[in-house]
Structures are given as structure tokens and as C-alpha cells.
Structure 1
Amino acid sequence: MKAKSYLVLGLGCVLLLAGCQNQTLQQGSSTDYPLLTLKPEDRQLSVKYSAVIEGKQDVEIRPQVSGTITEVYVEEGARVRKGQVLFVIDQVPYQAALKQAEASVATAEANEATAKLTLEGKESLYQDKVISDFELRTARNNYRSAQAALMQAQAELINARNNLSYTEVKSPVDGYAGMTSYRIGALVSSSMTDPLIRVSDNSQMYVYFSMSEKQVLSLTAQYGSLDSALLSFPPIQLQLNDGSTYPHTGKIDVISGLIDKTTGTVSLRALFDNQEKRLMSGGSANVVIPYQQQQCIVIPQGGTYEIQNKIFAYKVVDGKAVSTPIEVFEINNGKEYIVESGLQAGDVIVSKGAGLLKDGTVISASATAATEPNTEEE
């Protein structure tokens, strides 16, 4: 019985001793993490921005006179030329108005000629002292009234001709016709809310996107001014919604000089050729801009973590991980950050798994050799 008790007691002591030794090893152990020694480098990066596509010209075609549509010549989706007749509004009342205006001009011309003859006769009689000065001035006033009436009739004639011409609704630009719900017999007017049809010039497309104020200031610092940045911008690419890359490059042609107070962003516009008609007005895409950053510090996003919208990295100091707040420029490639402050060349950081570390964690001196950041462009 005593032998069994000594055996149990001895086994317990062995297990306790092993546990103490294991705890001692864990307390003194360190963990291997991949490290990165920071150094300045030049990088060619790709930055993406959400964009909206619009035709170079999107024109709403509206009637300028009232009436019933008698002809529809446009086909939805068809190419139209500048000056091409798209719709015809009932011309009968406007043709009648034109005839009436022409008659009014003829009458006014006759009255003006009669008043002129009368004035010439009055002037002759006045020279012979047959009539008084009052009669002469009355004749002159009658002639001026006849001239004014003629001018008014001529203006009404021009207006009548214009109204008749407006019954033919024409396209003001080259482009492609949109959809229309107006057919023969529909009553239209110049005060209607919806356009008859839209015509878009899609030979070239405008692509609108925005940059943050911080990014625009960085461009200004790099190139010296917005105008210089505009001239120095490299050709940009367009990533379509299906993930494909548009085969033609574009050029940024406008940078707004105003900051949107609501969003804190600056609007930019790029121009893309669209000869194959792959781009459609109203679509969306991503603008991809190659971005040259010289002598910058680049770190992988896996070497950072975020708390309350602030970004931190773990710098290795005296063999321990030290949490360090940093400011970064987002590259938008989902892989890396450009460090603007908080780290400098020569610093060693944990390049992966920062979210699993704690401040003060011992980093083994034999940790994974320092690695270079991923330089692959997106």
C-alpha cells in the first residue's frame, strides 16, 4: 500500500516538474515573423478610381412649336447626321400663318409706298406755300408710321418662317439616336417636360472621376502646378465592368480647380476614343492611372493593422515588436501602402501578420530573413 502511494507521489512530481519546465520555456520563447528592412525606392504604381462614362455630346431634342406629330423619320438606335429631320409636326397651321404674314408684308409695303408718295406731294405743295407746316409734318409722321408697320410685318414674316421650319425637328449634332415614346399623332409642345429623343455623339467619350484633396495636393507638389500635372499625366487605362481592359488609352484633359465641400474631392475628366462603340453613355468603369513615386517607403498592407481609422505597424526595436502609428498614401491595389510618416529607411518591421501581434512581443533574432515588398503592379 505504501509502495503504491510512493509511486503516485513520484509520478505527480515528475509531471509537475515537466509542467514547470514547459512554462519556463514558453515565457522565454520568441516567435518567428517575416521581417522587412525599409529602404527608399522608385515605384510605378497603378491607382484605380470609380468613374462614370458620358458621351461627348448628349443632346435632348425638344420641339420649339406646338402641334401633332405627322411623321417620324428617326429609328431608335440609328446613327443620325447633323441637320437630319427626325420628326415632322403638323405644318398646315404654320403654312397658313406664313401666308398671312406674307400678305401683311405686301399690305404694309403698299401703305408705305402710298405714304411716301403723299409725303413727296405735300413737300412740293409746301414749297409752293399751298399747305401749312402742320400738314407737312402730319404727312411725314404718316410715312414714318407706314415704315414702322412694314418693319413689324417683316418681323412677323420672319417669325412665321421660323415657326414653319421648326415643324421639322432636326438633329443639331452627329450621333446616335436614343429611345423615344413619341409616335405619329402625339401632341407635343415647347413646354413639354420630356424630350422627344436624345442624340449622343459617342465618337469620343468623357470619363468623369474624383480624387481626394490630399491626392491632388500630392500631384501639385510633384509637378509644380495643376496645369503642369495635366500636361505631364501619362496615358490612362479604363477597366470595364466585366473586368476587361478597354483597348484604347485615354488622356486626362480637365482637372477642376474647385473642391466639392460635401465630399472633399476634386473632379477630373478624361477623354477616350470610341470608334468601336464599346463605351456607352451612362455606364460606369474604373480609371486606372499609372503613378510614379520616387524614393518612397513602401510596406505591405499585411504588415499593418487599423484601430479607430488609424493605421499602425510593428517596428522591431531591441528584438521586440513596438506598435507605431503611421500615415499612408493608399495605392488602391489592395496590397501595399506608401508610408508618408511614422517610418523611415532602415527601420525593420513585421511584414505579415501584424494583426496577430501584441505590443512588446519578442521577435526572434533568427526570424525569417527580411524580404522585399511586392513590386508587382496591379
Structure 2
Amino acid sequence: MKKSYLILSILLTASLLSCKKEEAATKEMPAMPYKVVEIQKSNTTLIAEYPVTLEGVTDVEIRAKVDGYIEKIYVDEGQEVRKGQPLFKLETLTATQDAGAAKAKVTAAQVEVNRLKPLVDRKIISDVQLETAKANLASAVSTYQSIIARINYATIKSPVNGIVGTLPMRVGSYVSSQTAEPLTRVSDISSIYAYFSVNEKQQLDIMMNSDGKSFQEKVNKMLPVNLVLSNGMAYEQTGKIETFSGQADSQTGSFNVRAKFSNANKLLRSGGSGTIQIPTKLNDVIIIPQSASLELQDKRITLIVDKDNKVKTVPIEVRAVSGGKFYVVDKGLNVGDKVLLEGIGIITEGTAIKPELVPMNDVLNPKTESTPTTK
């Protein structure tokens, strides 16, 4: 019996000692180290992107001024043409015959005027007959000139230097000034206009962060813009924003914007598309890595360390910096706050940690092209 009590006593003692050891181990467990960065003000450039449509500086629809069948097509699709160069010729056989008859009437009317003039001078006949003959001559000349103009209009010439578009009509097609589809389009693409739209907030963000006092001065001083082509490649030339529409569209609330790009090599074509990139310089702003934040229930949060080295959740409002690595924080953080660089989504609020301070310059990595620079 005594032996049983002794064994039970030993087991209880061992159990108590084990619990005390576990409790001591728990109390002595050190806070885990996590990397943090102390917030500073920095300078950066935001890149806003908008889809664009491309048009030549002049994009002219070519239409027939007179009716007729297409007799000749002098150009091909995509051909470069000069101002005044013939593009199409319409059939003029009937007009030529009409011109011959009209010319004969002009000659006859002139003869009549020449015959009556000396008679009037000698007062053999009244002036009325001569004036009537002159009026008939003027009418005949007008008719003749109208027919000649119709013949000239039958040769359709390019009004500008440019590139020929598609040719939907073929030789033998009947066209008129009322034909819905143009014969072709000629686009002057020595320079290209890129058209896009921005909403009111975007327009204000762009203009309020641009140098200059007046609206036009701000436009003139805007940084050069880049064009990303539809194949994802960057266009070799930078462009310049030239105009914003004077008022917002009543239905969409957006402003139309036009940028201009040089196109000496004719790589860009009217009707193309792409994406324009507009840089905006920002000074003295708070920047954090995107990886140091988390989207939670339609809100973006980050974790900071309080004075007791305990984790605290903070909601923030951000704007993305070009390159997809950083955010500009508009609200939620202050200079001096210590933001966790790791453990986002893992560490719970109130957890005590051992912060390991990382220099801001190391976080922002100024060697990369789109990286902000600290002051």
C-alpha cells in the first residue's frame, strides 16, 4: 500500500514539475524578429496610363464632286502621295461632248456680239439688242465653264501629302457626290495625334501637379509622355500633350485630350491604337512597398509597430507608382511610423515583435528605373 502511495506521489510531482517548466518556457519565449522601415518623405513620379486612338494630323475623306463611272485608279492602298497628285479619273465622254457643244454656243454668241457692236456705235440699232447679245454670251460662257469644271473634277486629286487608305471602289464603279462611302482617305501622318479621355478627378490630379500658373501654362510645361504600342512595345519618340477640351462631356463627364508624336519614319498609322503614359512628379510624399500592404474587405491596410513594439493595423489610401512595386500613401501613415515589411496577413494585431530596422534607401532600391528617390 505504501508502495502505491509512493508511486502516485512521484507521478504527481513529475507532472507538476513538467507544467511549471512549460509555463516558464512560455513566459520566456522571445518576440520574433521582423523587418520594419521608418517612414520618410520621398520624391517620385507617378505614371498614369490611358488607352488612345491614333489619327494623322490631317485625315481627309476623298469623295467625288461629280457623278460618273471610275475610269482609272492611279494609286494603291498604303501608297504615299503628294498634294495635287491624281488619285482617280471618272469617265468624261459625255461631258466632253457637252463641252464641245457649249464651246460652239460661246463662239456663236461672241460672233453675234461682234456683229452688233459696230451697229450700235453707229446708232443703227438700239443698245438693247447688244446688251441682250452680251447676256447670251455670258450665259454661254458660264455653261461652258461649268462643263469644263465638271471635266476637271473628274480627275480627283489628293488635297494633302499623305498615305492612301483602303480603296473600296474598283474601276467601273459608279460614284457621285451622294455616295455614302468615300473613295478613300488620305492621311498626313508626318505627325500623329493620340486622342484619349480622362475623368474630372484625373484631370485635376494631372493639372494640380503640373508647374505653371494658368491652365495653358501648365499644359505647356507638362512632362513628355510615352506611347506604348498595341504590341506592347514602347514607341521610340516621346510626345507632348497639346490640348484638353474646354469642358467635360455632358454624358460621360470626361475631358478629351490630344497628344502629338513625331512620325518621320511613318511607323504609326491613322486608325491605330495604343496606351499613353503620363508622368506626374510628386515631391515630399510617403512611399511604401506594395508588398507591405494588404487589401482586406475593399480596404487597403498596413501594419505598424507602436511604442511597445506591438503590431497595429492601419487603413491607408494609396496610389500606385509605375512598375507595380510601390504605393504613394495619401492617408493613414505619418513620418516616423515604423511599417512592417514582412508578415502581412500572418501576424495578428497586438502581437509583440522584435523590429529590425531596414534603411529606406535599401527598401526603395534606387537602382531600378521606376524607383522613387528619398530626400
TM-score (norm 2): 0.79
Picking from 313, 317, 335, the partner of 1:327 is 317
Match of 2:235 in 1: 246
Match of 2:192 in 1: 205
Cα–Cα, structure 1 residues 51 and 29, in superposed 2: closer, same or farther, change >3 Å?
A: farther
Q: CA RMSD in A?
A: 3.8
Contact 1:32 1:363 in 2 (8 A): no
Q: Distance in 2 between matches of 1:232 and 1:144?
A: 67
Equivalent residue letter for 2:156? V
Q: Distance in 2 between matches of 1:362 and 1:287?
A: 45
Gap runs ≥5 in structure 1: 126-135
Match of 1:339 in 2: 329
Q: Distance in 2 between matches of 1:23 and 1:186?
A: 96
Match of 1:131 in 2: none
Match of 1:132 in 2: none
Give the CA deviation at 1:148.
5.1
Give the CA deviation at 1:194.
1.6
Verify: 1:183 aligned to 2:183, yes or no: no
Q: Distance in 1 between matches of 2:236 and 2:274?
A: 14
Equivalent residue letter for 1:335? K
Contact 1:51 1:286 in 2 (8 A): yes
Q: Percent identity?
A: 32
SS for the counterpart of 1:218 is helix
Contact 1:46 1:331 in 2 (8 A): yes
Match of 2:373 in 1: none
Equivalent residue letter for 1:364? I
Give the CA deviation at 1:196.
1.5
Give the CA deviation at 1:117.
7.4
Contact 2:37 2:357 in 1 (8 A): no
Tell me the alpha carbon deviations over residues 116-175 of structure 1, each in whole angstroms, 9 at most, x when there is no partner.
7787788x99xxxxxxxxxx8xx75x7666655554444333322221111111111111
Give the CA deviation at 1:112.
6.2
Q: Distance in 1 between matches of 2:306 and 2:247?
A: 45
Q: Distance in 2 between matches of 1:305 and 1:364?
A: 19
Match of 1:156 in 2: 143
Cα–Cα, structure 1 residues 369 and 247, in superposed 2: closer, same or farther, change >3 Å?
A: closer
Match of 1:40 in 2: 41
Picking from 350, 358, 377, the partner of 2:369 is 377
Q: Distance in 2 between matches of 1:184 and 1:277?
A: 29
Equivalent residue letter for 1:342? G
Deviating more after overlay: 34-43 vs 146-155: 146-155
Match of 1:286 in 2: 275
Q: Distance in 2 between matches of 1:368 and 1:289?
A: 35
Q: Distance in 1 between matches of 2:327 and 2:97?
A: 74
Tell me the alpha carbon deviations over residues 78-110 of structure 1, each in whole angstroms, 9 at most, x when there is no partner.
211111111111011121232333344445556
SS for the counterpart of 2:287 is strand
Q: What number of residue pairs does the alignment pair up?
A: 361
Question: Map of 1:1-378 to 2, 5 A cutoff?
Answer: 13=15, 17=19, 21=23, 32-107=33-108, 109=110, 149-222=136-209, 223=211, 224-307=213-296, 309-318=298-307, 319-352=309-342, 354-356=344-346, 358=348, 360-367=349-356, 369=358, 371-372=360-361, 373-374=363-364, 375=366, 376-378=368-370
Contact 1:255 1:266 in 2 (8 A): yes
Match of 1:130 in 2: none
SS for the counterpart of 1:259 is coil
Contact 1:111 1:146 in 2 (8 A): yes
Give the CA deviation at 1:238.
2.4
Cα–Cα, structure 1 residues 225 and 340, in superposed 2: closer, same or farther, change >3 Å?
A: farther
TM-score (norm 1): 0.78
Equivalent residue letter for 1:338? V
Gap runs ≥5 in structure 2: 371-375
